[in-house]
Chains A and B, each alone.
Chain A
Amino acid sequence: MFSFKTKSLFGQTKQHERQIDQFVDILSEVGLVFKSIVPLYLNNGITDKFDEMVKQVSEMESKADKITKDVERALYEESLIPDARSDVLRLLEHMDELIGMYQGNCYHFSIQKPDFPKEFHKDLISLSETAVKCVESLCLTTRSFFRDIKSVSDNAHKVTFYEKESDKKFTSFVRRIFDSELHLDQKMHLRYFVEKIDRICDQAEDIADEIQIYAIKRSM
């Protein structure tokens, strides 16, 4: 009886570990898809491939939502990690919001079809790549929070670095937009998209800061 219970305890633990890993994988993959979507849209506009990729992001978002709910239920029902439970759940929720931000950006491109002149393509691609790198570093920070707590601050530092990079790119990009000859309405429209992408980095940095605090709380 006891051995059976012990077995099931460790079995379930492994399953929840896998779920959390899978969740982080999804965040990372959504970023990679987003990284491909931006140049695809800029070069070809709304195509079947673009729609397919947006759908892919949407499916991944639903999957991440389901995992968040499953883990949340398991942590409470099985009374796991009582001291770190609320931290872990908050972390997953905030990372889920990040996936939502990627998805929102994809939808906005699909619905609003912003018209980025050729001269801004490089800037937008560069900004979105920085955002993805920032989130990639956040994924590493999250993984280290769960498995290798002493690497948390190193990885969180990278998130901060990319967030600063993004801020710089955002400022110069927006300045260039408003210095251009475009109509004010178009300038505002483009700025909206640039801002949305930059916010991904802000959110990633906030989460990395949270993780650093959780890591301090977790130390013996």
Chain B
Amino acid sequence: MDLIIIIFLLGGLFLGWSLGANDAANVFGTAVGTRMVKFKTAALVCSVFVILGAIISGAGTTETLGKLGAINALPGAFAACVAAGLSVYIMTKFGLPVSTTQAIVGAIVGWNIYTGSSINIKILFIILSTWVLCPIIAALIAILFFILTKQILRKCNWHLLRLDAYTRTALLIVGAFGAYSLGANNIANVMGVFVPISPFTDIHFMNVFTFSSKEQLFLLGGIAIAVGVFTYSKKVMFTVGNDLLKLSPQAAFVVVLAHSIVLFLFASQGISNFLHSINLPAIPLVPVSSSQAVVGAVIGIGILKGGKEVQWDIAGKISIGWFLLPVMAALISFIILFVLQNIFNQTVHF
């Protein structure tokens, strides 16, 4: 493989790292923030399941993102990834849980504008509508499970210590599910733009198993996410865990569960096919924002409790981040593409 290809792939890996540092923290943020799960345990479980989710179920959302802007040159994909990664990095520096999805969508739109390619408005609308729907659905699911969990706890009367042990186990299990869903849903953000121009070839293992070029890309992206989780996610975990709303460990479990369900719904080909088979509208396989899901779930619980405990100023700060992020990513993408084309003489579009 050429050195230049590796350098361009590094753009995607940088974005993967940003996703791990920022979005993956959402899965275990509440658990680590309430000190129910150690950071190291959370990071390990998260990394393993993100990689599994990416490889096993990452294809559906990738296809949707490809329809938004089919970046057909490696330098173009590099620019989009670096732009998205940089904007997420800047937001993460401020401790704000922003969305890699929004960043990559902004960056792809930036590529579309720079190259004069047409934007698939229908797909863009679907993606944008999920930005509104995702936190709302997460809030509703969180409210439902919060009430349910409360009822169960009231009936079971577990000893405080036993409840603690059960909650830890539940947080780990649901965190693993969340990490899997995150990998499945968000790998498109990291490696989606590279899929049409993948530098890898399929590897066949004795005609029994084929490790496709797409899966190799996803594995690479998954590893990058894992590195991001281990090296930079701690700060955001504590922001999600403590700042927005002081959560009890049981409420933390509900938040992660709601977040995981939302991400899984928007990534599962199986559920989508099933709904289609019974003549119901299929759920679009869209990379949604795990940050929005988790913030939606936390606010849902806050509203259920009367809304007084929610730190609305922090929620507002986070929302401004969501609005600024895609604009910033589009702008940075535009600038990088300009530099690549005019200073480094790279073809960013065929």
Query: B residues within 8 A CB of A147?
Result: 157-160
The reply to whether B248 and A79 form a contact with Cβ atoms under 8 Å apart is no
Looking at A13-21, A183-191, A201-209, the stretch in contact with chain B turns out to be: A13-21
A81 CB-CB contact with B under 8 Å:
yes
The reply to whether A83 and B158 form a contact with Cβ atoms under 8 Å apart is no
- Cα A147 to Cα B158 in complex, Å, equals 6
- Cα A6 to Cα B166 in complex, Å, equals 10
A10 CB-CB contact with B under 8 Å:
yes
- Cα A147 to Cα B157 in complex, Å, equals 5
The reply to whether B248 and A220 form a contact with Cβ atoms under 8 Å apart is yes
- Cα A14 to Cα B160 in complex, Å, equals 11
B204 CB-CB contact with A under 8 Å:
no
Query: B residues within 8 A CB of A146?
Result: 159-161
B34 CB-CB contact with A under 8 Å:
yes
B189 CB-CB contact with A under 8 Å:
no
Q: Given A83-B248, A147-B157, A218-B248, are A17 and B162 neighbors across the interface (CB < 8 Å)?
A: yes
- Cα A82 to Cα B241 in complex, Å, equals 14
The reply to whether B154 and A9 form a contact with Cβ atoms under 8 Å apart is no
Query: B residues within 8 A CB of A9?
Result: 165, 168-169
Which interface class (under 10, 10 to 19, 20 to 34, 35 or more) fits B? 20 to 34
- Cα A81 to Cα B163 in complex, Å, equals 9
From A150, which residue of chain B is reached at the shortest CB distance?
A: B154
The reply to whether A20 and B34 form a contact with Cβ atoms under 8 Å apart is no
The reply to whether A80 and B161 form a contact with Cβ atoms under 8 Å apart is yes
The reply to whether B159 and A79 form a contact with Cβ atoms under 8 Å apart is no
Looking at B102-110, B145-153, B218-226, the stretch in contact with chain A turns out to be: B145-153
B99 CB-CB contact with A under 8 Å:
no
From B158, which residue of chain A is reached at the shortest CB distance?
A: A147
Query: B residues within 8 A CB of A59?
Result: none
Neighbour of A17 across the interface among B153, B154, B159, B250, CB < 8 A:
B159
- Cα A20 to Cα B169 in complex, Å, equals 22
8 A Cβ contacts from A124-183 to B: 145-148, 150
- Cα A110 to Cα B113 in complex, Å, equals 93
- Cα A10 to Cα B168 in complex, Å, equals 11
- Cα A88 to Cα B159 in complex, Å, equals 13
The reply to whether A83 and B157 form a contact with Cβ atoms under 8 Å apart is no
Neighbour of A81 across the interface among B38, B150, B157, B160, CB < 8 A:
B160
- Cα A9 to Cα B170 in complex, Å, equals 13
From B254, which residue of chain A is reached at the shortest CB distance?
A: A220
The reply to whether B34 and A83 form a contact with Cβ atoms under 8 Å apart is yes
Neighbour of A220 across the interface among B36, B157, B164, B250, CB < 8 A:
B250
- Cα A148 to Cα B160 in complex, Å, equals 9
B262 CB-CB contact with A under 8 Å:
no
From A81, which residue of chain B is reached at the shortest CB distance?
A: B164
- Cα A181 to Cα B222 in complex, Å, equals 89
The reply to whether A6 and B169 form a contact with Cβ atoms under 8 Å apart is yes
The reply to whether A13 and B35 form a contact with Cβ atoms under 8 Å apart is no
B249 CB-CB contact with A under 8 Å:
yes
Q: Given A150-B154, A218-B248, are A82 and B162 neighbors across the interface (CB < 8 Å)?
A: no
- Cα A28 to Cα B246 in complex, Å, equals 36
- Cα A54 to Cα B150 in complex, Å, equals 46
B251 CB-CB contact with A under 8 Å:
yes
Contact with B along A8-35 (1 / 0, CB 8 A): 0110011011001000000000000000
Residues of chain B touching chain A, judged by Cβ–Cβ distance below 8 Å, are 34-36, 38, 146, 149-150, 153-154, 157-162, 164-165, 168-169, 248-251
A-B contact pairs, 9 of them (CB 8 A): A13-B162, A13-B164, A13-B165, A14-B162, A17-B161, A82-B35, A146-B159, A146-B161, A220-B251
